[in-house]
């Protein structure tokens, strides 16, 4: 699961970049060492944790994890799916937003073209089950601590676990993987090559990564402009 790639086995891959679109956000190369998760025939190793359309259009992620701290709205899902060149996995609630509304948002996300839906960690298992009965696309459920009952999540219809436990993510992934050998796991890998590598070796199939905001990116650009 976390085996290192022999450099002799890595093939040369030609890369095409434009002049104007050459300034992109590139994910840490170590993420390529993950096994990936195949969803509807597409292998996904890297998820960008963002809802910024400008970032989504200029990042080399395999997919987008579009979860935000507000009540989910269909118009946001539609905008993201329309703008993105890669699959969108969108948040549909489960915390503040619950009940029938979550099911309706999940159903709308599938009809809009999202590749999967993401449910927050407080989501009751009965809601996960209701969403599973309503849609055919994958259900990602966020796991934040060892207290989460993984077995119940799987029985309710969870397709993929999204481990988001901060600095303890690698440790939590390892504990889940020891008990559940085949369950697909996405996990936050942190900012450094070492932390991402540790998370992959712990058993994560894919890594979610928070790219810098447009404000952070603009800071460097504006400094350059001022010195011109």
Residue pLDDT, tens place only, 73-99: 999 999 999 999 999 999 999 877 788
* Interaxial angle between packed helices 74-83 and 100-112, expressed in degrees from 0 to 180 and rounded to the nearest 10: 20
Parallel/antiparallel/unpaired status of strands 42-44 and 37-39:
antiparallel
Question: Quick check: 6 pLDDT over 80?
Answer: no
Torsion of CA 140, 145, 150, 153, to 10 degrees: -40
Q: What angle do CA 23, 28, 29 make, to 5 degrees?
A: 105
Each domain of the chain, given as residue ranges in start order, spans 28-226
Q: Any idea which fold 28-226 has?
A: TIM Barrel (3.20.20)
| Cβ-based neighbour number of residue 186 at 10 Å | 30
pLDDT tens, residue by residue, 139-172: 999 999 999 999 999 999 999 999 999 999 999 9
What's the length of the chain?
228
The Cβ-side half-sphere exposure at 47, using a 13 Å CA radius, reads 32
Q: Assign 116 a pLDDT band (cuts: 50, 70, 90).
A: very high
Mean pLDDT for 108-116 is: 97
Mean pLDDT for 104-118 is: 97
């Amino acid at each position: 699961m976390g085996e290192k790639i022999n450099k002799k086995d890595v093939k040369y891959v030609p890369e095409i970049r434009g002049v104007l679109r050459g300034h992109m956000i590139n994910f840490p190369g170590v993420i390529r060492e993950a096994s990936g998760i195949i969803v509807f025939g597409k292998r996904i190793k890297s998820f960008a944790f963002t809802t910024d359309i400008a970032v989504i259009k200029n990042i080399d992620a395999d997919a987008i994890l579009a979860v935000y701290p507000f009540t989910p709205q269909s118009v946001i899902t539609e905008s993201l799916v329309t703008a993105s060149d890669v699959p969108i996995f969108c948040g549909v609630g489960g915390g503040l937003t619950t009940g029938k509304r979550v099911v309706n948002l999940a159903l709308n996300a599938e009809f809009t073209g999202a590749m999967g839906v993401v449910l927050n960690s407080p989501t009751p298992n009965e809601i996960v089950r209701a969403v599973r009965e309503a849609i055919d696309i994958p259900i990602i459920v966020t796991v934040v601590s060892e207290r989460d009952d993984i077995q119940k999540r799987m029985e309710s219809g969870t397709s993929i676990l999204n481990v988001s436990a901060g600095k303890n993510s690698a440790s939590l992934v390892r504990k889940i993987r020891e008990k559940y050998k085949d369950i697909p796991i996405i996990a936050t890998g942190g900012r450094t090559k070492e932390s991402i590598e540790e998370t992959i070796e712990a058993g994560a199939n894919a890594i979610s990564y928070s790219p810098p905001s447009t404000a952070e990116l603009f800071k460097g650009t504006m400094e350059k402009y001022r010195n011109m």
